[in-house]
Chain A
Amino acid sequence: MNGSVRGRFTGFEAFEGIVDVAVVDGVTVVRSAAAGPIAAGLMFRVGIADEPLAHRGITHLVEHLALHRHDVLAEHKNGHVLSVTTHFVVSGSEAQVVDFLNGVCAGLRDLPLDRLGAEKSILRAEAQARAGVAEEPLLRARFGAQGHAMPVYREFGLESVDADALAAWARRWFVAENAVLWLTGTETPRGLDLRLPSGRWQPFPAVEEVSRPGPTWTSGPAGAVAADVLVPRATVGTVFAEVASKALFRELRLEGALSYTAGAQYEPVDPERARILFFADATPEHEGAVAGAMVDLLAGFRAGRFHERDLVSAKKAIREGVDAVREGAGAASAVAGAYLLGDRLRHPDEIVSDVDDVTVDQLRDFAERIWPDITWQTPIGPLDWIGAEEVTYWSTDTVEGATFDFIGTPEHLVVGEEGVSVVTPDGVATVRRDDCRLTGVQADGARLLIGANGIMLAIEPTVVRGVDATVIDQIDAVMPSETIVRLPAREPESIPQPPQRAEPVRLKGFGAWAIMLAFPLALFGLAVLVGAIQNTAEYVLGAAPGTRVSPAMVATSWILAILMIGAVAGLIAGWVRRLRSSGGDM
């Protein structure tokens, strides 16, 4: 038995007699006897969580290039980039397994960099087809823009990684010391060529958690309710997650008929901590009930309310999971994985014993301890009613520098030597040079800055007064050069434009005042008209005794009458014109 120990790894001793270990070309090989075709997996301690945001997707590129000579559509071989590992798996005859593993190692030794452009193109297509991670807001809230939050973000590396960067990445991570091969069988297959560059083993990535007093809540996409929490790694956490999973499934699917998928999972994020994720899907009309039921379920756990059925089935499921690693591929891959991660691994009997010893009181205490640290994600709006604070992405300070006003909105941009801030009436968002994880460069001049804590600043010169090429150059110079990524060009219509100032509407004709004026004028005009007719009659027929109507009086009265009639007609016509021009909506 190879006594090689890394980190807290103790698996070889615990699995004495179940697995044996060899070394081929400097790569540790973990074998376990099993009948049937050979199953094997070549694992490397590198995954998405190791990638810098500006190179997000670089491991995926390596994996694709290493496999490009293989027909990965075949079901018995493939590659996967996971959170902290990359795994090439195969099953089949000895010849098939050797051919695949040798091919992967040959590919890694000598990456076909001439394929880089083509594989980037393939990965872009793959990204388009891939569904987003339902609990993205939770990951961003907890980890910001680094480590385990990486799945939230697009593969910026497809724009930024060149052949040199890719080769350097492979030389650092895809080395013999950072690899392990597991396989079924008692003998190492003949002809295996695992030659890889020499390097060093890489421990778990450091987990940087964005610290917030909890519990907290964040809005999430429709159709998904979730919550997560970081917990110390312990058997009680494993059991708690499994019990929660059974309870959520029972309550939300079997009894409530509210969800299709409902459960919880326990995933180690580093040697000390694990993340428990509670999740459930929901149709739009049931989102509220699913969120409420999840809150009540975890509140019930705090009160020590566990269904006996959930406890029994959870422990049974864990025992079955443990049984799967007692021999064969399960044992070999579990030991290899623990070895690769430098993680502790105990004998299945010991695990089962610990699981059986977990009591309801321990589970209740665990639920009580984790409650304040839970972050909730729902599509139903505020969860202030459970005492949770909203997750916000505001900063505590503003950088010093030149200030530029947004056009048409009360925000302003501050560009300084330490970083960039956007000051809004609701708060300040700052990305400092030291915390910048991405400087996205648009050909049209815009910049996307993402800070380590997940703050995103979109700087659009079109909507900020005075932000010209000089200011943009200054921003680029402030931010670390390794964070700069040239983003794909945008469609012109997706570039924000300042709010258009509305032209004052010039209405035609006259308003209601015209008709109000026309009415008394018409009455007065009528009187004048009657007077004109009377004057004309008197003048023609002869004036009454004692009166005298002159031609000038007749003419004057007619002129006045005509003017009055004209004025009234003009006012009415103007009012009608206004009525028509406004569509009758006066």
Chain B
Amino acid sequence: MATKDAVGPTVESFDTVPEYEPLRRALDEGEWEAVDAALAAWPGDEVSYALSLLADPDTLTEHRLDVIVGASSSPTARLAWANHHLGLAWQVRLRHPGSILPPDEFARFRRLLAEAEPVLIELCAEFPDFAPAWTARVHSARWLGLPASETRRRFARGAAIADDVWAAVHLHQFFETRWYGSADEARAVLDEILADVPDGSLSWTLVPRFHVERWAEAGGAESWDNPIRTDDVVDALREAAQRSVLHPERGQLTPTLVSAHNAFMVAFWLAGRPEEAARHRAAVGTRLTAPEWSWVTTDAVERTRIWQHLSFLGAAA
């Protein structure tokens, strides 16, 4: 594995995910029907993930956006369009990370969200069983600052259709300290979500996400006695990994599974358990995911160094 992956890791984008090759080909040929056909075979959370990566304003080309706009009768195209506007809104927000937006920037942020949301409302009204639209609405509820009960309602509507890890992630984030909750509320929501999901569900990746949030709150890398290093947390991470990404029912690698492995890889790395992180590194090969790795570093050189270290440990095991 170490030899095969020696070229170094890739942070996944719509253009690098191998499973998306049919989508890219169809898009570049202007055939949204073919995109639809490919997505129809995937579970809801994979559709959610694919359409959010596709709609990323940093990578979405004008040609592909035109194809999306031209397929306005397709629910997946409409979801991609809405996701694109959510992404544009977030770009505005990221211009002032950690601080209040100036009034005009806030108005722009809000306006972009308000362009996306009616489309999502219509989607949920016309296709109430299209779970990815409900997932996007759990997401948008957080950015719109809607009340917790509305966010929960949207999650419940989607969860009644399918277990969707991304809906769970967005709901859990809502109750995180960084947004509108606290560590206690995040813990309670975590327990609540996991009480209803079966073994094998990727919703168990909320466990590493929860503990990484606590790691950051406790001072991150500066904290030598960070709670993520305690045996209890490590045991919880191990159990969650066994019940999700390492569960026997989990088949071949999918983009969402790659993301889930990355969440565990990062959590074990931060917990000072590189050998266990290496196991997840081995599962994903060179495929890293940006949101999960942003906890550790956004520096490509440092990311590669850690990845190489984990590759070495994996090869040595």
A492 to B249, CA, bound (A): 75
| B153 lies within 8 A of A385 (CB) | no
Please tell me if B18 contacts chain A, counting CB pairs below 8 Å.
no
A302 to B128, CA, bound (A): 13
Shortest beta-carbon distance from A247 to chain B in Å: 13
- The interface-forming segment of B5-13, B59-67, B96-104, B118-126 is B118-126
| A386 lies within 8 A of B118 (CB) | yes
Q: Which residue of A lies closest to B146 (CB)?
A: A288
Mark contacts of A420-436 with chain B using CB atoms, 8 A cut-off: 1 yes-contact digit, 0 otherwise.
Answer: 00000000000000000
| B152 lies within 8 A of A289 (CB) | yes
Please tell me if B113 contacts chain A, counting CB pairs below 8 Å.
yes
Chain B residues positioned under 8 Å from A300 (CB to CB):
125, 128
Chain A residues positioned under 8 Å from B140 (CB to CB):
385
Chain A interface, DSSP helix/strand/loop, else mixed: helix
Chain A residues positioned under 8 Å from B114 (CB to CB):
384-385, 387
Please tell me if B150 contacts chain A, counting CB pairs below 8 Å.
yes
Q: How many chain B residues touch A (Cβ–Cβ < 8 Å)?
A: 23
A302 to B114, CA, bound (A): 19
| A299 lies within 8 A of B153 (CB) | no
Please report which residues of chain B, range 107-149, place their CB below 8 angstroms from some CB of chain A when the two chains form the complex: 110, 113-114, 117-118, 121-122, 124-126, 128, 140, 144-149
Please tell me if B154 contacts chain A, counting CB pairs below 8 Å.
yes
Please report which residues of chain A, range 24-38, place their CB below 8 angstroms from some CB of chain B when the two chains form the complex: none
Please report which residues of chain A, range 365-388, place their CB below 8 angstroms from some CB of chain B when the two chains form the complex: 380-381, 384-387
| A299 lies within 8 A of B128 (CB) | no
Please tell me if A286 contacts chain B, counting CB pairs below 8 Å.
yes
Shortest beta-carbon distance from A73 to chain B in Å: 43
Q: Which of B117, B152, B153 contacts A386 (CB 8 A)?
A: B117
Mark contacts of A284-327 with chain B using CB atoms, 8 A cut-off: 1 yes-contact digit, 0 otherwise.
Answer: 01111111110110011011010000000000000000000000
Please tell me if A256 contacts chain B, counting CB pairs below 8 Å.
yes
Chain B interface, DSSP helix/strand/loop, else mixed: helix
| B149 lies within 8 A of A286 (CB) | yes
A533 to B276, CA, bound (A): 75
Known: A287-B147, A289-B147. A387 touches B118 (CB 8 A): yes
Known: A289-B147, A303-B126, A380-B147. A296 touches B152 (CB 8 A): no
Known: A385-B144, A387-B114. A296 touches B149 (CB 8 A): no
Q: Which of A256, A290, A302, A380 contacts B125 (CB 8 A)?
A: A302
A384 to B144, CA, bound (A): 10
Q: Which of A258, A290, A293, A385 contacts B117 (CB 8 A)?
A: A385
| A292 lies within 8 A of B110 (CB) | no
Shortest beta-carbon distance from B33 to chain A in Å: 22
| A299 lies within 8 A of B122 (CB) | yes
| A305 lies within 8 A of B125 (CB) | yes
Q: Which of A289, A303, A386 contacts B149 (CB 8 A)?
A: A289
Q: Which residue of B lies closest to A302 (CB)?
A: B125
A172 to B114, CA, bound (A): 52
Shortest beta-carbon distance from A302 to chain B in Å: 6
A291 to B114, CA, bound (A): 16
Chain B residues positioned under 8 Å from A292 (CB to CB):
146, 150, 153-154
| A386 lies within 8 A of B147 (CB) | no
Q: Which residue of A lies closest to B145 (CB)?
A: A381
Q: Which residue of A lies closest to B150 (CB)?
A: A288
Known: A300-B128, A305-B128. A386 touches B150 (CB 8 A): no
A356 to B31, CA, bound (A): 45
A295 to B137, CA, bound (A): 13
Interface centre among B128, B145, B153, B154 (most CB of A within 10 A): B153
Shortest beta-carbon distance from A412 to chain B in Å: 23
Q: Which residue of B lies closest to A282 (CB)?
A: B149
| A293 lies within 8 A of B153 (CB) | yes
| A299 lies within 8 A of B125 (CB) | yes
Please report which residues of chain B, range 39-83, place their CB below 8 angstroms from some CB of chain A when the two chains form the complex: none
Shortest beta-carbon distance from A377 to chain B in Å: 16
A residues with a Cβ closer than 8 A to B are 256, 258, 285-293, 295-296, 299-300, 302-303, 305, 380-381, 384-387
Top 7 nearest A-B pairs (CB, nearest first) are A288-B147, A288-B150, A289-B149, A299-B125, A292-B150, A385-B117, A303-B125
Contacts A288-B149, A292-B154, A385-B140 known; list 18 others, CB within 8 Å. A285-B149, A288-B146, A288-B148, A288-B153, A289-B149, A289-B150, A289-B152, A289-B153, A292-B146, A292-B153, A299-B121, A299-B122, A299-B125, A380-B147, A381-B145, A385-B117, A386-B118, A386-B121
Pairs across A and B, CB under 8 Å, 10 listed: A288-B146, A289-B150, A292-B154, A293-B153, A295-B121, A299-B125, A300-B125, A302-B122, A380-B150, A381-B145
